[in-house]
A and B are shown apart, each in its own frame.
Chain A
Amino acid sequence: MVTAIKKYLVHIVIILILFGFSSVFNQKLAGEYEIKAALIGKFCQFVEWSTNSSVQDIETPFRIAVIGKHNFGKLLDDLYDNKKIKSKPIKIIYSVDPKKLLDCDLVFISSSVGSELDNIINYYSDKQVLMISDSKGFAQRGVHINLYSQNDLIRFEINETAVKKSNLQMSHLILKQAKIVNYGEEK
């Protein structure tokens, strides 16, 4: 019963986020991970996958993979159920084991896989997979977009070099909105 109510509430929150009735940055109104889950989809609006990417294959769904232990719970499944990214249905896949990497179009690397991060980055860096994390210093190590908190607001930083290396096309608009970092910069 409690789960059902919770699920119902989550739905309301997601709808409010999508229709812009509430600020996604307002942490007092929604949970941190709810905002992060929403931001994952919004980043896709400003990123273009090249023609040889599986994203261009209309037969397959848009796959979002979550590596490592995460705090999303069912948020991603609920949020992206019956939604579309790049005009394709969305499939959320999870791999708690950092060594077991999944084929996908976007990967969220949780902070729990820090020791395996370089391997993961190496694995995905030439595969046109948008890498997103929420751990300090991950962007400087090669993750494309890293979410961080500042003055109670969730902001993001982008490793522009890593993005260019991945053959993904990122809009200048998102670059202007983000903090630009580079490999090995001061954390």
Chain B
Amino acid sequence: MTSIFNFGSISAKLKLIIVGITISITIVAFSVLAYNQYHTNRTDLEQNLTVNAKLIADYAVTTIVFDDVKGAEDVLSKLDQIEYVVSANIYDSTGKFFAAYRNIAIQTSPKFKIINFVDSLYYENDYINIVQNISYDNNNYGYLFITATTSQLKHKLKNYIIFLIILLVILIVISYILANVLQKIISKPIKFLTQIAEEISQSNNYSLRVKPQGTNEIFSLYKEFNNMLDKINIHQTERDIANKNLQKLNSELDEIVKNKTNELRNALAILEAENIERKKAQETLSQVNEDLRISQQTMYDDALLLQELNNKLIESEEELKQLNEMKNKFFSIIAHDLKNPLTVILGSVDLLQIYYNKNNPEKIEFQIQRLKEGVLFFRSLLSNLLEWARAQSGSISFKPEKLSIPAMINYNIQSVKAMADSKKILLNYLEIENEIYVFADENMINTVIRNLLTNAIKFTNENGEISVNVYHEKNCVSIEVKDSGIGMSQEDVEKLFRIDVNASTIGKSKEKGTGLGLIICKDFVTKHKNDEHTGNLTVSSELNNGSTFKFTLPIG
């Protein structure tokens, strides 16, 4: 709001305020007056018309009753006195036209029709219509319909507004003149004060004073202005003194600052020297820390190594323990197995002695044969045991070379053929055309093939059948020895390669086995292990349904 008045001098503002208020109030007041005038005129017109309509209707009763049209027209002609009535009609009680009146002074007379035969007053365009019941003694005889123009009403209002506008202009002029004169009462002393203030600010002469007049706010303003000047004067003097003191203090302060700066500079040099030493010490400390950390790490690594070694020792101790136990068991078995043929041999020697005394040559020969068999078995047992012991101690050297498998199989089949023929067992080996080479130790593989074949013959009934197959498998060569023998239970299969539980089995023609053969075979095959495919010896067997031994060797 105040920003609107940020223009011109105080005089202009005061004039504007006075004239503005005058115009605003006058316009509001004149608007109310104009509206009131219009409303009053309109009400007057309506009342006048209503009263006249009632009078005319009264007089028209008998004209209708006695069918006196001329009388009715005479009655209506009284409306001549009302200049704004345009026309009037009388209708009888059935709504039929009875008499009419036209104001000849008004040229244009619109023809409105009676809308509803009830007492009413309504405006249509620039005209007012009034319907008045013509009745007497509660009997209705007809209707009076008067049309009047409202143009006079508007004309009157227009004149009134023109009058008000002229009055408004006059009031504005008067208010401007008065404002011009009256604003000086307020603006003059303020202007004077402004002038003095400007003079003081330009000359810095605070000894100037204004002369207070009257008793109002302006007097107080002048007085306070003088007081303010007095105070400014005092403050000016005080300020000068303070300035001088300040200057003195400043120079002293400068000196102190200079001294302190020097002191600080020295202190800083000392601190810097200390700092360098501290840094050196810190570096040494860091080095020591790093060394400590490294030695700690080494200790930790050693501890881990020790732990690992310890674990290995424990494992190896456990393994040794198991091996020892195994060895003890093995020795007890071997001792038992060695004892049996010796008992047989001893028995035969006793019988030989008896038969020798009785001079029974047939039985002597028989016992000699048994004695021979016993000794041979004993030798075979010992040779197997020896071979296994050599293998365990590592005194058998493992020298793999490129070998032809079919040739080796043929050689071994030939060496056991007599044994098979004695049991009328058919040995099948379908020799393939292409040579199959393996990379293996010849002695070991011969031992394995021979052992598997003699085992098969041992556990196959007379007139049985044994077949040998050789074929390539993934990254290896498989050799399979299959018999139609007695087979084994799953339990026996699981014990087959375990030295601690192994026990010799009697063959189908009462051949005796040491039980060591298969263990030696397993050891020799395992020595050929290059990967997961090679160096495996597996057994598949079913009781009374034959057995199949298969071992794999690396391709030569």
Contact = CB atoms under 8 A, between A and B. Distances in A.
Contacts, number: 35
Contacts of B58: 173
Interface string A155-187: 000000000000000010110110000000000
Given A45-B137, A45-B139, A177 B66 contact: yes
Interface in B80-117: 92-94, 96
A25 interface: yes
B70 to A, nearest CB: 9
Given A20-B92, A20-B93, A176 B136 contact: no
A176 B94 contact: no
Contacts of A25: 66-68
Contacts of A19: 94
Interface string A97-132: 000000000000000000000000000000000000
A23 B67 contact: yes
A173 B94 contact: no
B469 interface: no
A42 B66 contact: yes
A46 B93 contact: no
A157 to B, nearest CB: 13
A42 B92 CA distance: 16
A20 B94 contact: yes
Interface in A45-69: 45-46
Nearest to A20: B92
A24 interface: yes
Given A20-B67, A174-B62, 13 more contacts: A20-B92, A23-B67, A25-B66, A45-B65, A45-B137, A45-B139, A46-B62, A46-B136, A173-B58, A173-B136, A176-B59, A177-B63, A177-B66
A174 B141 CA distance: 14
A171 B65 CA distance: 13
A173 to B, nearest CB: 5
B65 A42 contact: yes
B185 to A, nearest CB: 72
Contacts of B71: 177
B61 interface: yes
Interface string B42-83: 000000000000000011011101111001000000000000
B61 A24 contact: no
Interface in B408-447: none
Nearest to A25: B67
Contacts of A173: 58-59, 61-62, 136
Interface of A: 19-20, 23-25, 39, 42, 45-46, 171, 173-174, 176-177
B67 A24 contact: yes
A176 B62 contact: yes
Contacts of B63: 177
Nearest to A39: B66
B136 A45 contact: yes
B68 A177 contact: yes
Contact of A20 (B59, B61, B68, B96): B96
A20 B69 CA distance: 13
Contacts of B62: 46, 173-174, 176-177
8 contacts: A20-B94, A20-B96, A25-B68, A42-B66, A45-B136, A46-B62, A173-B58, A177-B68
Nearest to B93: A20
A176 B78 CA distance: 15
A174 to B, nearest CB: 6
Contact of A24 (B66, B136, B139): B66
B55 to A, nearest CB: 12
Contacts of B139: 45
A40 B195 CA distance: 105
Interface in B300-353: none
Contacts of B92: 20
A25 B67 CA distance: 7
Interface in B136-193: 136-137, 139
Contacts of A171: 136
A1 B84 CA distance: 61
B212 to A, nearest CB: 86
Contacts of A46: 62, 136
B143 to A, nearest CB: 13
B125 to A, nearest CB: 33
Contacts of A42: 65-66
A39 B65 CA distance: 9
A66 B61 CA distance: 28
Contacts of A24: 66-67
A42 B63 CA distance: 12
A39 B67 CA distance: 11
A42 B66 CA distance: 8
A173 B62 CA distance: 6
Contacts of A176: 59, 62
Contacts of A39: 66
Pairs A-B, 5 closest by C-beta atoms: A177-B62, A23-B67, A173-B62, A25-B67, A173-B61
A80 to B, nearest CB: 17
Contacts of A23: 67
B9 to A, nearest CB: 78
Contacts of B93: 20
A19 B93 CA distance: 9
Contacts of B96: 20
